[in-house]
Amino acid sequence: MYCPVCFSDTLYLKPRGVITTIINGKQMNTGRFLFNEIKDNHDEMLKKLDSKVEEFFKWYSTFQNKDPVSKFGLYSSDFCCKNDCKIPINTRISIIGILFTAEEVTTILNALGKKYQIKIELEASI
């Protein structure tokens, strides 16, 4: 990936960090979860993702006027540059396509959307 500082293809995701879940621009205080590629296998990380999305959908399903889910993002600031660039602290980069495939994320959203009767109408591919 390209570093936002030096613009070289030297950016990589650290093996451990925090993922933030943002849905339709909304984020819960509990919408973050830890990942550890050294300790957890991919299925365990998918279960954590599923759990966080379900927490959000359970909360969101109590709203009176629910908009369909049109934007979904998984972000982390736990990236490093091989050139030792100082990445700005508030930089968040999507981890979809790095830790989770778009298909895995879409499958989780569709399943939980049905369960909680929330429409999923993503504006663009994840």
- 20 with 103: CB under 8 angstroms? no
pLDDT tens digits along 68-123: 999 999 999 999 999 999 999 889 999 999 999 999 999 999 999 999 999 999 88
**Bridging pattern class, strands 16-23 and 72-76:** antiparallel
Model pTM? 0.86
- Backbone Cα Rg of the chain: 15
pLDDT tens digits along 22-64: 998 888 888 899 999 999 999 999 999 999 999 999 988 888 8
> How far is 60 from 36, CA to CA, in rounded Å?
28
